[in-house]
């Protein structure tokens, strides 16, 4: 488990299925999700199991974000290995309940997770892939020091925009 001044970041497990199902079916939180919403809790459990496998293999991945003061699940955040065009990246990802957006929790959690990654991978470049209309994620990428590269537009989905931090994690 990791902690910030406002958040506990815990490893995923199936005990969070209900909260994560609510997150992954929230129309605002999933507005820019190419895969769409989860159709049922089994789909959410399958995602959680995949996240747990990543943890078992690499000792990092998705974190469940929990407020320290009221113990509410507010979202998820992660860096996870992703291969695009035969290049491996640490793909950054987050999703937060709308009632908790706009107060810096994504930035806070992603910075803490990046620090944690220094123990596991100091070489793989980091990537934030988002939709061209997702201004909040674009602003987050820029605030985290990532640079936009138009050569990667539409890399997987139409409207994709990719932001890279090509420095090693030790140099963040």
For residue 42, report the phi and psi dihedrals to the nearest 5 degrees.
-65, -40
For residue range 4-62, list pLDDT tens digits in order: 999 999 999 999 999 999 999 999 998 988 777 899 999 999 999 999 999 999 999 99
CATH assignment of the domain containing 115 = 3.40.630.30
Q: Which residues contact 2 (CB under 8 A, 6 or more apart)?
A: 8, 9, 63, 112, 113, 116
Using a pLDDT cut of 90, give the percent of the chain over it.
Answer: 87
Q: What residues have CB less than 8 Å from 91, skipping those under 6 apart? A: 79, 80, 81, 82, 126, 127, 128, 129
Q: Per-residue confidence at 120, pLDDT binned at 50, 70, 90?
A: very high
How much is the pLDDT for 122?
87
Question: Which range of residues forms the domain containing residue 154?
Answer: 2-171
pLDDT digits (tens, 9 = 90+) for 62-105: 999 999 999 999 999 999 999 999 999 999 999 999 999 999 99
Is the pLDDT assigned to residue 166 strictly greater than 70?
no
Query: Shortest CA distance to 137 belongs to which of 33, 21, 2, 9?
Result: 33
The number of folded domains in the chain is 1
Mean of the per-residue pLDDT values of the chain: 92
């Amino acid at each position: 488990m990791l902690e910030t001044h406002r958040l506990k970041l815990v490893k995923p497990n199936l005990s969070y299925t209900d909260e994560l199902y609510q997150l992954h079916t929230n129309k605002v939180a999933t507005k820019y999700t190419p895969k769409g919403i989860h159709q049922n809790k089994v789909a959410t459990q399958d995602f959680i199991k995949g996240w747990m496998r990543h943890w078992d293999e690499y000792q990092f991945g998705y974190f469940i974000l929990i407020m320290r003061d009221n113990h509410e699940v507010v979202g998820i955040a992660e860096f996870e290995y992703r291969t695009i065009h035969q290049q491996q990246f640490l793909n950054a990802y987050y999703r937060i309940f709308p009632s908790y957006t706009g107060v810096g929790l994504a930035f806070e959690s992603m910075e803490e997770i990046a620090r944690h990654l220094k123990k596991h991978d100091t070489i793989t470049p980091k990537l934030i892939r988002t939709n061209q209309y997702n201004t909040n994620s674009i602003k987050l990428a820029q605030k985290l020091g990532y640079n936009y590269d138009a050569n990667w537009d539409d890399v997987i989905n139409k409207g994709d925009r990719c932001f890279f931090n090509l420095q090693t994690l030790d140099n963040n």
